[in-house]
Structure 1
Amino acid sequence: MRSLISLILFFFISSGMAATEKLNFTIATTHPTTLPWAALLRDYFVPVSSKRIEAIYPNIELEWHQAYGTLYKWQDSLNGLKIGLSDIGWVGSLWESSRLPLQNITYDLPFITDDLSSLLSVMNDLHHDIPEMQDSWSDNDLKFLAATGTDTYHLVTNFPIRTLADLKGKKILAPGAASIWLEGTGATAVNGALTTYYTQLKTGVADGAVTILSGAYPFRLHEVAQHVTLVGIGAQFVGALAINLEVWNHLTQPVQDVFLEVARDYSRLSAEAANQRYVEALEALQNEGAILYTLPLVEKEKWMKSLPPLALNWVDRLEARNLPARLVLKKLMLGLKARGIRPVNSWGVDLLALDN
């Protein structure tokens, strides 16, 4: 671990046994700072953490090596942090259904809410309240710090969509766990990430994408797929800010506390930024010639009805692995309810008798 020597020095520094020293961290994401969860690491998490830690320990100076979208690719967000290529970083849980199964719950609950701020608040609470949520990370040598997510998903395609039937036979990019949203539509899901979509669309690998506008616009997807169909599949928990567990265990309690506090604020701010960027992206797409169309409610309802009972299937699948999926689902739905959210689609959750 590159930072280990500095971390060990930190114990001497904090005890007043050393002169001013540098504490080195590498922080990385798989995506560039055009996306809010990456930009806020640079603009908020890094400077605020440094300021607070240096106020506690005046004899140290934090030094950051920052790599946003350059150190490893989207498929390696978990492994890159796990093996120590970075010390702190963003992990995309949506591509890690097998290793972070409980974290992908929202992808099995499409069409529940577009309220990202409330959703992330609930997901942070779930990680605090349910030990198995934290265990998913520690089993991969990571420590969860705070939830991140995206604005609601829509369709960006190189063909017009007026009805659900227009998706039949088409190849649609759907990242990781989102592929299940296309079941029953007649479309074929193609894996990828925002960093690859432009090329995949331009070269004919896919005809469109289920994606977020706050990402579609800065990656210029409308240049190769000019039709934007507003669906509102829902805001999503897509990953988290995490820290390598070995690094975490070498930090003093005050430093751990700072990282947790700043990370929670970072989570809230990332949701606010995503919401603002969504509004800006929608306006920019209109101004730059994208063809916008809102999918009629009757077609949206057809889409929901075409899908299998995703939430119930998710519970059965994970409970068979001795994971508390029912509890996670219960607390998620009750948490949204407590925040005044009424899901657009309850996905038969009432059948689980969640209030019992």
Structure 2
Amino acid sequence: MKKNRLFALGMAAAVAVMSMTGCGSKNSQTKETETPAGQGDSTAAAPSGSKEKITLRIGSGHSESNPWITALEDYFVKNVTERVSAETNYEIDWVKSYGGSVISLGNELQGVQDGLVDIGCTILVFEASRLPLQDMVYSMPFSCSDPLIVAETVKQMYAEYPEFTSTYETDYNQKFIGIGVSDPYGFYSTKEVKSLDDVKGMKIGAAGINLSWIEGSGAVGVQTSLNDTYQNLQTNVCQATIQPTHSCVNLKVYEVAPYYLDANFNVVPFNAITVNMDTWNDLPEEVRTILTEVGEGYLDYEANYINEIHEQDLKELEAKGCTIVTLSREEQEKWAASLPDIVNGLVKSLDSAGYNGAEIVEKYYQILESHGVERIRDWNIGN
């Protein structure tokens, strides 16, 4: 009798559970199944009413205190997240590693190639040997310091010369989806600098190929990066540094180098957003489309953001007691004339890498001129 009673109770409970399961969908939860990047099915949609989760690892050697990474978060990550959720049956779960925690400065391109992250933001100044074409404007100092004009110039160059983007896929196992520009490079120093003569004998810190901007000046170049700048100035490793303005404001470099020279050094194509090809090929087609479209829009957003904050940065520097000097056109020409023929050196290196160096470099200057930017020095390109 006891066994029959237990059996009956069990059957009743089972029926109750089945009835609850079959109730309307108002209180049902969205089902989530996680698909790590690289294991997606581009043809299979998730069941109706559910979202399949895709995990994407994104990283850079620079931290979010830098405007190109701020823009990466505020525009790229935000819009990809929202659009994938709204337009597809997938959701993106981001694993973020900025500030060199997974891929360090100078190793970002390799890190994406090796799959240490799925999406990387590569800081181009450290990749001159592997990406000479993409890095070329670093060897064209005093070309233009307007982020909006440089962004438009980069757009035209990348549209006309597909080798700017195809190299990533053919040589480095990654898909190019976006490019950003730097804010104007500034000259922070421990003493006031108003002319080329003032830098003679100074130790000046800069990253990678930026050191070419002081060749012939009588200064001593010190290889450094944004991450080391404050300490190097504080400990007299260098007495000045050439770095993007906003990043140094965020790092409070003005505390140890309270003089700022607006020298019109340059705004350059600064960071590339790329996706590991193995990850790319395994992503659903609709997700790839969104990544491509958002990546294309990143440059406009980032350049406008950088343009806005630059004026704010100069005001903040003044408020913090920093002395700001603008290098005159005459002194810019004098500084540019003191440099070795680095632009034609660039042309030769591009030729050696299989590109039409003279044509590409001249085209960049011509596009700048179409926007009203005059050349500080006639480099007599190709001769």
Q: Deviations over 1:203-237 (max 9, x none)?
A: 22111101222111111111111111221112111
Aligned to 2:79, which of 37, 48, 52? Answer: 48
Question: Does 2:142 correspond to 1:108?
Answer: no
- Is contact 2:141-2:266 (8 Å) kept? yes
Q: Which residue of 1 aligns with 2:29?
A: none
Question: Does 2:139 correspond to 1:77?
Answer: no
- Is contact 1:124-1:146 (8 Å) kept? no
Q: Which residue of 2 aligns with 1:294?
A: 326
- Give secondary structure in 2 for the equivalent of 1:181: helix
Q: Show structure 1 runs of 4+ deviating over 6 A.
A: none
- Is contact 1:208-1:225 (8 Å) kept? yes
Q: Which residue of 2 aligns with 1:265?
A: 297
Structural mapping, 1:200-219, within 5 Å: 200-219=232-251
Pairwise CA RMSD: 2.3
Question: Does 2:91 correspond to 1:61?
Answer: yes
C-alpha separation in 2, matches of 1:33 and 1:104? 22
Structural mapping, 1:153-172, within 5 Å: 153-172=185-204
User: Amino acid of the residue matched to residue 219 of structure 1?
Assistant: L
- Is contact 1:102-1:328 (8 Å) kept? no
How far is 1:88 from its partner? 0.8
Alignment: residue pair count? 348
Question: Does 2:77 correspond to 1:8?
Answer: no
C-alpha separation in 2, matches of 1:319 and 1:142? 24
User: Amino acid of the residue matched to residue 74 of structure 1?
Assistant: L
C-alpha separation in 2, matches of 1:12 and 1:263? 23
User: Amino acid of the residue matched to residue 189 of structure 2?
Assistant: T
C-alpha separation in 1, matches of 2:86 and 2:188? 47
Question: Does 2:153 correspond to 1:122?
Answer: yes
Instruction: Provide structure 2 residue ranges, at least 5 long, that are not aligned to the other structure.
Output: 1-33
Q: Deviations over 1:299-324 (max 9, x none)?
A: 22210110122222211122123223
User: Amino acid of the residue matched to residue 293 of structure 1?
Assistant: V
Structure index of larger Rg = 2
Q: Deviations over 1:59-115 (max 9, x none)?
A: x21111122213332222222222222111210111111100001111111111122
TM-score (norm 1): 0.90
Structural mapping, 1:188-203, within 5 Å: 188-203=220-235
- Is contact 1:4-1:247 (8 Å) kept? no
C-alpha separation in 1, matches of 2:131 and 2:247? 23
Aligned to 1:37, which of 44, 53, 68? Answer: 68
C-alpha separation in 2, matches of 1:331 and 1:4? 45
C-alpha separation in 2, matches of 1:249 and 1:205? 46
